[in-house]
Structure 1
Amino acid sequence: MSKKRHPSPSPFDPRAAAAQAEDLARKLPEHREELLIEAAGEWEAAGEPEQALAICDRLLSTDCENAPLVEVLRIGILWDTGHETQAREAAERLRSAHPHSAEIWHHVAETFEAGGDLRTAAQWFTAGVTHVLGATPHIEAVRLAGPDAEDLFIGRHRVRRRLGLPHDDWDILADTLHATHSPTPLEESLDPAPTPARLTAKITALHTPLHTPRPETIPYWPAPEYAELLRRHPDLAKIYGPDHPTHRRQVELRLRALHAETTSPLAVSPTTAAAYDTYASTYPDSPPNAFAPDPATGTIPWPPHRNAPCWCGSGRRYKNCCGNATRG
């Protein structure tokens, strides 16, 4: 019997995604704001900043629950389209509102960093830390606050290093946070030039046992495989979700919860319906939720950078997909 083949997914089209999100916003008023924010992000990705700005302005003219997030999106679009003065004015208004979300401070800081204004970026990263965690943050509080809070420290370290500023206590904290998720020192991640010292360290590492902890992985079935999984095992819908969007969201939320509980590296482990069949037949007495794919088949480190492709394979940036705060 020939193996059933699933059709390859079509390339992701941000214009189509934006139009679809706007259409859904009209049909689902209870999710209007979330869907319009998604549409604005997709119009931006599609190279249609005017469309994206129009949606942002429309949202901000109403009683918008996620106004800071919309303002962040608007600031980034203004900056990217050459309206630097307007972007700075909007950023100052946002800062005066004292948002308490690490994501907000991180996004604006990265906008200034990408635009080459490193001093303003450093100010935003630093202000974000103090607004979210206070003037004397402890490492456990940072971990509990989640990946965006950690990114504030790592981003601050990055721009301060580019400015030639001396290492301070918060930079040391950034090193510690980074070390819990990556075996590569933060200094090397920020400046991976192959100096003799680094080459010697790498050669030494090849001749010594590896002590890097294996990542804790969460199984994830891409859409075609998930449909096949539920066809073969309908009862798994109670554990992994009744449909693929729910399954994908459960994976993201589980990873966020683990991130607050553990210092071990985390990863997504894409898998197949056939892999689950093998597990079920090999370990018939084991519970279904104990299934763990073989890491040798490949894993995706989590969390990805917010502007990196999302771990779910959608083709969208993580911040516009599973990392979208409005979907929490």
Structure 2
Amino acid sequence: MPTKDILTSADLSDLRRSALGSADPLGIAAELAEAVEQGRLADPADAGRALTLAAEIAETRAKLDAARRYADRAVAAYRDSTEPDAGFARALHARILFRTGRADEALAELTSLRPLLDSQPDAAAYLSAALDVGGRTDLAEQWLTEAVETALRNRATPNATATAEADDTTATAEPGMREASGLLFFLLQQRHRVRRELDLPHDQNDNLADRLENELFREATTAAESGPEARLFLPEGEFDLLRSRWPELAERLGQDWAGHRARVQRELVRLTESGRIGLGPLRGSTEGLAGYAERTGADPTSEPARAGYAAELAGRGDELPWPPERNEACWCGSGSKYKKCCLPRSRG
């Protein structure tokens, strides 16, 4: 299990996908911890990620003493406790404390994280999972119920601070999938799961969760039928070449490269929000489009030509991995980190 002298953010992502299937996962966990200690991370800010992964591996292999040591270090590595990754690391720490018989400490840790339910979508999953491990699924249901009610109340009363004394029973239309995407949707999903585990009868919010999941399925079906053309991506040099050859494609592909990659990024986000997981940009080229048009007799500037070429790329598996981790190199090839490049372009 050789690893590099210097571990990048991309290396950590690869290890997360492959470590548990390796011949010596515990060796990988130990080496991750050593890499942090020896300063062998390309980005020192990845220390928390590396140690959290080490703790997860050790926990999975029931090496709880090692898992707790790694988790202790992971929590300490996050200087900003409000980061989403910091919340997950602390919830993992609590989960390990539960497994080692330190329930009071675990519950105190999770209670301090409870406010994240009102602001971070991922918190609903990792907090309820940790409480499940501790046999406190009932408490997860209580916390999620209160968070859902808060989210619905804030939706009905956007300026929640200014109207804190407003009547909580104010009637409001139930949100649709688009309105509920993000925090509220994840809260409803996790609450629905927890209540099924507890064998509780359906209530109004369970019905809402079911309805939104049905809407999500319908949107996913529609997205599946829309074809891959909107994911067609041209690297900067290829984009400039294509624009010079067929200027009329600017309206469809983007007036400049920044607009082009923003268009592709927004489409990938839209597909993900509608339930299409695992799709990435389809990397094309000017000559590739020209070749497809020549083989099929199509006009290379036409929508059928672009759609057919994109479908051909998808069929060959010519997709770029997406999304990268926040601190990884951006998928577009700019050389900048994803969080500073295309991630902010996710919304138009």
Compared CA separation, residues 126 and 55, structure 1 to 2 (3 A): same
Find the residue that maps to 1:182 and give its secondary structure.
Answer: helix
Contact 1:69 / 1:104 at 8 angstroms: preserved in 2? no
**In structure 1, distance between residues paired with 2:209 and 2:118:** 22
- Please say if 1:178 is aligned against 2:196: no
Contact 2:141 / 2:194 at 8 angstroms: preserved in 1? yes
Using the TM superposition, name which of 116-125 and 273-282 deviates more. Answer: 273-282
- Aligned counterpart for 2:269 among listed residues 250, 256, 261: 256
The 5 A counterparts of 1:16-165 are 19=35, 23-26=41-44, 32=45, 35-47=46-58, 49=67, 50-59=69-78, 62=79, 64=80, 66-67=82-83, 69-80=85-96, 82=99, 83-95=102-114, 99-113=118-132, 116-134=135-153, 138-140=173-175, 143-165=178-200
Given residue 109 of structure 1, which amino acid in structure 2 is its aligned partner? S
Compared CA separation, residues 57 and 168, structure 1 to 2 (3 A): same
Compared CA separation, residues 312 and 252, structure 1 to 2 (3 A): same
Residue 68 of structure 1, CA deviation: 6.1
**In structure 2, distance between residues paired with 1:276 and 1:126:** 52
Compared CA separation, residues 65 and 91, structure 1 to 2 (3 A): closer
**In structure 1, distance between residues paired with 2:174 and 2:95:** 33
Using the TM superposition, name which of 11-20 and 41-50 deviates more. Answer: 11-20
Q: For each residue in 1:226-259, what CA deviation from the matched residue of structure 2 results, as whole angstroms up to 9, or x when unmatched?
A: 8xx64982538997998xxx97x98665443567
Compared CA separation, residues 213 and 285, structure 1 to 2 (3 A): closer
Contact 1:56 / 1:74 at 8 angstroms: preserved in 2? yes
Residue 52 of structure 1, CA deviation: 4.1
Contact 1:79 / 1:87 at 8 angstroms: preserved in 2? yes
**In structure 2, distance between residues paired with 1:144 and 1:91:** 29
For structure 2, the residue ranges without an aligned partner over 5 or more in a row are 1-10, 17-27, 59-65, 154-167, 244-252, 332-337
Residue 160 of structure 1, CA deviation: 1.1
Compared CA separation, residues 254 and 17, structure 1 to 2 (3 A): farther
- Alignment RMSD: 5.2
Given residue 195 of structure 2, which amino acid in structure 1 is its aligned partner? R
Q: For each residue in 1:184-214, what CA deviation from the matched residue of structure 2 results, as whole angstroms up to 9, or x when unmatched?
A: xxxxxxxxxxxxxxxxxxxxxxxxxxxx535
Find the residue that maps to 1:180 and give its secondary structure.
Answer: helix
Contact 2:289 / 2:300 at 8 angstroms: preserved in 1? no
Compared CA separation, residues 94 and 231, structure 1 to 2 (3 A): closer
**In structure 1, distance between residues paired with 2:32 and 2:89:** 17
- Residue identity over aligned pairs, in percent, reads 20
**TM-score normalised per structure 2:** 0.53
Q: For each residue in 1:70-103, what CA deviation from the matched residue of structure 2 results, as whole angstroms up to 9, or x when unmatched?
A: 1332122331362443221111122267742233
**In structure 1, distance between residues paired with 2:124 and 2:135:** 17
The 5 A counterparts of 1:142-291 are 143-182=178-217, 213-215=222-224, 216=226, 230=235, 233=238, 235=240, 253-257=266-270, 266=276, 268=279, 271=282, 273=284, 282-286=298-302
For structure 1, the residue ranges without an aligned partner over 5 or more in a row are 1-9, 27-31, 184-211, 301-310
Residue 124 of structure 1, CA deviation: 2.6
**In structure 2, distance between residues paired with 1:77 and 1:273:** 44
Find the residue that maps to 1:23 and give its secondary structure.
Answer: coil
**In structure 1, distance between residues paired with 2:201 and 2:152:** 22
Given residue 196 of structure 2, which amino acid in structure 1 is its aligned partner? R
The 5 A counterparts of 1:3-22 are 12-14=14-16, 15=28, 19=35
Given residue 155 of structure 1, which amino acid in structure 2 is its aligned partner? Q
Q: For each residue in 1:247-277, what CA deviation from the matched residue of structure 2 results, as whole angstroms up to 9, or x when unmatched?
A: 7x986654435677xxx66452664648756
Given residue 140 of structure 1, which amino acid in structure 2 is its aligned partner? P
Compared CA separation, residues 158 and 71, structure 1 to 2 (3 A): closer
**In structure 1, distance between residues paired with 2:137 and 2:313:** 40
**In structure 2, distance between residues paired with 1:40 and 1:251:** 33
- Aligned counterpart for 1:294 among listed residues 304, 311, 330: 311
Compared CA separation, residues 140 and 110, structure 1 to 2 (3 A): same
Given residue 256 of structure 1, which amino acid in structure 2 is its aligned partner? V
Q: Aligned pairs, how many?
A: 254
Find the residue that maps to 1:129 and give its secondary structure.
Answer: helix
